[in-house]
Chain A
Amino acid sequence: MAELRSHISTGNARPVLHEIRAALEALLATGTETIIDLGAIPFAAGDERLLDSVLGPGEVVATIRALGETRVQETGIAGVWRVDHFDEDGETLSRFVEITFMPEILRTQRADAEQALDTLAARLARPDAPTH
């Protein structure tokens, strides 16, 4: 099925790639981060394939497990990331290209760290907490 669909393309991949290039220039020149929502433009399987083949695979692949999986991958063009959100059934929720030094969702969020501090303290305070 994937094979059958894969030849369809809207011609939108190249304009997006040029947008990415301009965004990368802006990131280097002024530090401006850009997020491109791939769900907001017509993007068929053939476009996706062209985007993937031009950007290529990069050094970082991370999986976040929060409300289903999120795959964060740096592409072969450093500073250009793919962030794909899926729900608990593995269905796509949203897809982004982020032009940034570090996608926000990869960082530990302050609120999570604050809650984690409480969790750790509670674990250490338990009477049956391991001592060695």
Chain B
Amino acid sequence: MADKPLLPELMKAHGISRRGFLKYCATLTSMMALPPILAPKVAMALEGASRPSVIWLSFQECTGCTEAITRSYAPTIEDLIFNAISLDYHHTLQAASGEAAEAAREAAMEENWGNYLVIVDGSIPLANPGFSTIAGISNLEMLKQTAEGAAAIVAVGSCAAFGGIPHADPNPTGAVSVADIITDKPIINVPGCPPIPVVMTSVLAQFLAFGLDSIEVDDLGRPKAFYSETIHDRCYRRPFYDKGLFAESFDDEGAREGWCLYKLGCKGPTTKSVCATVKWNDGTSFPIQAGHPCLGCTEPDFWDNGGFYKPLSVPAGDYRKLGLAAVAGGAVLGVAGGAIARSVKSSAAAKHEPVTPDDLEKKS
């Protein structure tokens, strides 16, 4: 790794000024949800960061995560993050294929044993190893082999983090997440279908700048910088929710006025992600801003939770139970009614009775 140039040298080689570097650090600091005043510290940390070897493994996935992380970048700042790591294996992006590609992976592993970073997108089928293979190697075998010498693993996308769509009922391939197989390495989950591109690159940047220990994760292994608050917490439509102003259909007055999409099935109240602030397509918009409810794609089993267009207060599985708690605890009963909300939630769950928003209104 010693012969790989450091980030500021690379920037200099690309004709990027120190001002450009400062701008890059300011944006990165904002992306990492750190206070802006820390930008100089980010700059200092990046100045000394070496370029770690990265091996990207794609298993049962749609390539949406790779599309997302690559499509909107070059030649913007995120491109630099890729210049700042050494992406030694990514079978979708690399020119080599078959044995030559596998040789590149093995060489990178050998040279950087114990220090390389493994990024995984896609779930791993356990029902039959033949369901998904690369160069004749089953996903399970390749993951175990590659993980052994890794410093850490980043599971990008909901498939790698939680099993995702392949894992959805009835899970014909026996798909599981990375964390279901690898238990002796640090794993950072960056879920989303796909995750926000800058969230993926920012997690890598934080790893690069401050090391693995700096990435604080929640109980689902997600970096707290990006997954500590719900979309609902930061949604620009939140004031409408607080006032009880909801769109009832996609073409009514409320929808035109930009009111809250909760009754149309929005999963924002139970979905942790920075969609509402970082947004998509270089900060242009996010689903709720485009008039569509959040599907909750950063949460486990989002596909199996009873329908994208049913309000959260209709219990359908564990995830929905959480939804009821969040919603009842928030507006309908008021914050002080949290305990009552919990009892409503558990009794509803026990009886498995559908609870509509109207029912909740009556109880308040």
Q: A residues within 8 Å of B by Cβ?
A: 8, 10-11, 33-37, 39-44, 64, 66-68, 70, 83, 85, 87-89, 91-94, 96, 104-105, 109-112, 115
Taking a contact as CB atoms closer than 8 A, the residue among A83, A93, A111 that contacts B77 in the complex is A93
Distance in angstroms between the alpha carbons of A95 and B160 in the assembled complex: 33
Chain B positions within 8 Å of A111 at CB level: 18
**Contact: A88 with B76, CB < 8 Å?**
yes
| Other-chain residue from B33, B235, B258 in contact with A40 (beta carbon distance below 8 A) | B33
Residue of B nearest to A8 (CB): B258
Asked if A42 and B24 sit within 8 Å, CB to CB, the answer is no
Partner of B283, one of A33, A40, A91, A115: A91
Q: Using known A-B contacts A91-B282, A93-B77, determine if residue A66 contacts B20 with beta carbons closer than 8 Å.
A: yes
Taking a contact as CB atoms under 8 Å apart, the answer to whether A67 and B23 are in contact is yes
A-B contact pairs, 24 of them (CB 8 A): A8-B236, A10-B236, A10-B239, A11-B239, A35-B35, A37-B36, A39-B283, A42-B234, A42-B235, A64-B19, A64-B23, A66-B17, A67-B23, A70-B19, A87-B76, A91-B283, A93-B77, A93-B283, A96-B26, A96-B36, A105-B19, A105-B23, A105-B26, A109-B19
Q: Is B98 interfacial (CB-CB < 8 Å)?
A: no
- Residues of chain A within 8 A of B282, CB atoms compared: 87, 89, 91-93
Task: List B residues at the A interface (Cβ < 8 Å).
Answer: 12, 16-20, 22-24, 26-27, 29-31, 33, 35-37, 39, 75-77, 234-236, 238-239, 258, 276-278, 281-284
Docked-complex contact B76 and A68, CB < 8 angstroms = yes
**Hey, which chain B residues are within 8 Å of A39, CB to CB?**
30, 277-278, 283
In the complex the two chains form, is B75's CB within 8 Å of A37's CB? no
Residues in B whose Cβ lies below 8 Å from that of A42: 234-236, 238, 276-277
CB distance from A22 to the nearest CB of B (A): 15
Do the beta carbons of B26 and A94 come within 8 Å of each other?
Answer: yes
Most buried by B among A92, A93, A96: A93
CB–CB A112/B236 < 8 A: no
- Residue contact B27 to A112, C-beta cutoff 8 Å: no
B16 touches A66 (CB 8 A): yes
Determine how close the nearest CB of chain B comes to the CB of A90; give it in whole angstroms: 9
A115 touches B12 (CB 8 A): yes
Q: How far is the CA of A88 from the CA of B68 in the complex (A)?
A: 18
Point out the residues of chain A lying under 8 angstroms from B29, CB to CB: 37
Instruction: Return the chain B residue nearest A64 by Cβ.
Output: B19
Nearest opposing residue in chain A for B256, CB measure: A4
Evaluate contact between B19 and A37: CB separation under 8 angstroms: no
Decide if B36 touches A35 in the complex (CB within 8 Å).
yes
In the bound complex, residues from chain B placing their C-beta under 8 Å from that of A33 are 37
- Contact (Cβ within 8 A) B276 A92: no
B79 to chain A minimum Cβ distance, whole angstroms, is: 10
Residues of A within 8 A of B238 (CB): 10, 42
Q: How far is the CB of A87 from chain B (nearest CB, A)?
A: 4
| Closest beta carbon of chain A to B236's beta carbon, Å | 4
Nearest residue in A to B20 (C-beta to C-beta)?
A66
Q: Are A104 and B236 in contact (CB under 8 A)?
A: no
Other-chain contact of A94, B12, B30, B76 (Cβ < 8 Å): B30
Residue from B22, B30, B33, B239 in contact with A104 in the complex, judged by beta carbons closer than 8 Å: B22
Chain B residues with CB under 8 A of A35: 35-37, 39
